[in-house]
Structure 1
Amino acid sequence: MFLRIMKKGILVLGLLMLTVSCSEYQRLLKSTETAEKYTAAEELYNEGKEEDSNKKLKKALRLLEQIEPEFRGKPQGERLVFLLADTYYQLGDYFNAPFQFERFLQLYPNSQKAEEAAYKGAVCYFYRSPRYDLDQTDTDKGIEELQAYLNRYPEGEFTAAANEKATELRVKLEKKAYEIAKQYHHTEYYKAAIASFNNFISNYPGSPFREAAYFYRYDSAYKLAVNSYQILMEERLEEAVEFSKAYKKYYPEGEFTSELEDSLSEIDKRLQNF
């Protein structure tokens, strides 16, 4: 019985505190006391970050949006503009956050928070980057912004993370280019496939898809040749052989070696007929 009463008491006390807290926050929103709002906004921001509480961060954001214009040109302005940008960032609003970080950097380029603002502003585009088969405008922008951060802070606090994220975005672009070329191959547009794989090999020398690109370029040339008119076949078979040599040069024990050798035997037989 005593425990049940205690539990009810704690519940009632919690509800009472929540009601008081909400009413106090509503009072703050209507208040004209900017200093009081500043203190409350910073407390809510810090608690929201520490507790990973979107509810507190959203409350902080409303207060910050109200008071930020009041502190422009004042000593607290720098801190407030950064808090506003970072609150958007902490809430996962990667569309408003980069705009606010950019504004912060324009207003306070020499701030101690400038590096963090530059990094987080760039990272917003990383999180906005869609899967590889969609439009990659944000991916390109993310690479550009992350590289700008790395150029400015080559030994910065976030250099390792920026390099990692930039690499991930570049691989996404490589995957898109590779999959486009491979789609040409699979749909039997072999001339387009060869051209696309040529471009891919030239544009992405360090890509993890490079070996597959070399093989499918060869395979596209092989299939184009064997499906050609007789008058074109010999020249196209010889081109396929050249592509096979390029594959074996870079990947002498590659993943596709066995498949390549099987089709090369067929090419040798066909060439003997010429």
Structure 2
Amino acid sequence: MYFCQMFLRVMKKGILVLGLLMLTVSCSEYQQLLKSKDTAPKYSAAEELYNEGKEEESNKKLKKALRLLEQIEPEFRGKPQGERLVFLLADTYYQLGDYYNSPFQFERFLQLYPNSQKAEEASYKSAASYYYRSPRYDLDQTDTNKGVEELQKYLNKYPEGEFTEAANEKATELRIKLEKKAYEIAKQYHHTEFYKAAIASFNNFISDYPGSPFREAAYYYRFDSAYQLAINSFQFLMEERLEEAREFYKAYKKYYPEGEYTSQIEDSLLDIDKRLQNF
């Protein structure tokens, strides 16, 4: 039993040493490859590392592939392998999650090879890069707007394309993010009692985003902003503002007769009617 355990320990150490030795040799070979001026083995190694890295989701292998691709891509411009290399370079950035370099590289690929079989994939991944760059809704939405624009370009060009479903899902998600930002800005005006600004913002929101999931809430808070503005107004302004709030009540009830905010809005209407009797 003791000798068996000793044998197993020796075997494990041997395997570990062998693994480390192979890794050292592999790293050494890679470093030599980087220094070499022979582009053919670099091309083969870059493609192999790219394929393995993509399949295994190994950033280490993808980064190694990227270094080789960056070295040799200029050497193959205008040659038959150039198209493949430019796409691999762009897609390696994409696979690594470098969504600031990937759209630029995909756009360059499309400019150089607009009729490539990889043109559709490049168009989609270029647009998707902006989707992944899109920040939280409360931050600057430049990349979100760009993502919607680019995804829509892809959908217009490839309405039945391989990535149509994914592009639609991403575009919808980005649009909802933009809607949420606009809605939250208007709602913030309401909560901070800037009721005139809130009413104007909700009017714009309702006009700009007719199919938004925040539409009902926008109708309600527009009404409530008008109601709060009216009851906190000087007497000579109150009647007109109460009537405006009543109109917003009608608009809410037209679209949401049994809506989520029915109880609150009905209570406010009773108060409006009572106050209007004084005029």
Task: Name the structure 1 match of 2:187.
Answer: 182
* 1:265 equivalenced with 2:253 (yes/no): no
Q: CA deviation at 1:101?
A: 0.2
What is the TM-score normalised by the length of structure 1? Answer: 0.99
Q: Distance in 1 between matches of 2:253 and 2:102?
A: 49
Q: Partner residue of 2:210?
A: 205
2: CA distance, partners of 1:157 / 1:213? 37
- Percent of aligned positions that are identical: 87
Give the structure 2 partner of residue 115 of structure 1: 120
Q: Which residue is equivalent to 1:93? A: 98
Distance in structure 2 (CA, Å) of the matches to 1:69 and 1:238 = 71
Taking the aligned partners of 2:224 and 2:149, their CA distance within structure 1 comes to: 35
Looking at structure 2, the residues matched to 65 and 233 of structure 1 have their Cα atoms a distance apart, in angstroms, of 70
Pairwise CA distance, 1:237: 0.4
Q: What pairs with 1:26-175 in structure 2 (closer than 5 Å)? A: 26-175=31-180
Tell me the amino acid that sits aligned with residue 189 of structure 1. Answer: F
Aligned residue for 2:151, secondary structure, equals helix
Distance in 2 of aligned mates of 1:269 and 1:100: 66
Report the secondary structure of 1:134's partner residue.
coil
Shift of 1:255: 0.5
Once the two structures are superposed, residues 28-66 of structure 1 have per-residue CA deviations (whole angstroms, 9 ceiling, x without a partner) of: 000111010000000000000011110000000000000
1:6-48 deviation line (CA, Å, top 9, x unaligned):
1001001100100000000001000111010000000000000
Report the alpha carbon displacement of residue 197 of structure 1 after superposing the two structures with TM. 0.3
SS for the counterpart of 1:214 is helix
Q: Which amino acid aligns with 1:156?
A: G
**1:203 aligned partner, one-letter code:** D
Q: Residues of 1 paired with 2:149 and 2:196: CA distance?
A: 33
Distance 1:226 1:158 in 2: 53
Give the Cα–Cα distance (whole angstroms) in 2 for the partners of residues 163 and 185 of structure 1.
Answer: 33
Matched residue, 1:20: 25
Structure-to-structure mapping, 1:227-238, within 5 angstroms: 227-238=232-243
What corresponds to 1:224 in structure 2?
229
- Please, what TM-score do these two structures have when normalized by structure 2? 0.98
Rounded to whole Å, the distance in 2 between the matches of 1:96 and 1:273 is 66
Alpha-carbon RMSD across the aligned residues, in angstroms, is 0.5
Matches within 5 A, 1:236-255: 236-255=241-260
Task: Quote the Cα distance in structure 1 between the aligned partners of 2:228 and 2:163.
Answer: 48
Please give the per-residue CA displacement for 1:184-204, whole angstroms capped at 9, x wherever unaligned.
Answer: 000101011000000000000
Measure the CA separation in 1 of the matches of 2:192 and 2:234.
19
Tell me how far apart the structure 2 counterparts of residues 96 and 200 of structure 1 sit (CA, whole Å).
34
Q: Distance in 1 between matches of 2:155 and 2:17?
A: 54
**Aligned-pair CA distance for 1:139:** 0.5
